[in-house]
A = this chain, B = another copy of it.
Amino acid sequence: MGQRDRLGGIYLFAGLPEDQIRDLSGISSLRTFKKGSLIFSEGELATGFYVLSRGKVKIYKLSAEGREFILHIFASGEPFGEVPVFTGGNYPAYAEALSDCEALYFPRAEFVRLISGNPSLALNMLALLSRRLKNFSALLEDLSLKEVPGRLAAYLLLSGKKNRQQVELDVSKNQLAGLLGTIPETLSRILTKLARAGLIKQINNRTLVILDEEGLAELAGGVRRLE
């Protein structure tokens, strides 16, 4: 499969005419990353951004003591590392391949040139950044106003929406802890509490079943508390 074909299903490029897809394809190049490899580091000078075409990528920050907080986990079709394209300067976080990955790389200068002559692309990019901002405000809200059980409940409800109550975690519990702004021990304890309260049932390390959607929603909304 060539670059051209990879551009088809990407939200950022939706609705663009054929010739502009061709231009985009022309400036991009394919890069591959082995599972566990670092794609870029916080503070590193950014010369372009990526659109993931295969695999999963984790965007995260590190504390002074080495604890990590995961800002986002991206799946196929999603752009990442786009912030410094428009602010200039450095990547604001780390990016690591969670599995073997394949991504299209767009060099900054060329992409900005394309976007300047292309209002639809600009609007798509504006929509993308706005959605990210909305996401981040929700995350900030959760972190500062909810406790861990609430955040976990919200996450489970979101993941359960698709597969009717059966939740297949798309990250390890260790990763999930980082995503919820806590540590594995705490996550484990709270999952046990949720199970004891009859809200969920743990099947194995990666799957669980939602038994009481109502109850989880109350937890997520801060109406109810555990125990």
Interface contact A130-B61, CB-CB below 8 Å: no
- Bound-complex Cα distance A134 to B87 (A): 9
In the complex, what residues of B have CB within 8 A of residue A126's CB? 86, 115, 122, 125-126, 129
- Bound-complex Cα distance A20 to B93 (A): 36
Count of this chain's copies in the oligomeric assembly: 2
Interface contact A222-B63, CB-CB below 8 Å: yes
In the complex, what residues of B have CB within 8 A of residue A71's CB? 137, 140
Give the contacting residue for A140; candidates B64, B69, B85, B123; CB below 8 A.
Answer: B69
Across the interface, name the chain B residue whose C-beta is closest to A65: B222
Interface contact A83-B134, CB-CB below 8 Å: yes
Q: For this complex, into which size category does the number of interface residues on chain A fall?
A: 35 or more
A43 on the B face (CB < 8 A): no
21 chain-A/chain-B pairs, Cβ below 8 angstroms:
A62-B145, A63-B141, A64-B145, A64-B221, A71-B140, A85-B130, A86-B129, A87-B127, A92-B133, A115-B126, A119-B119, A122-B123, A125-B126, A126-B126, A132-B133, A133-B133, A133-B136, A136-B136, A140-B140, A140-B143, A144-B181
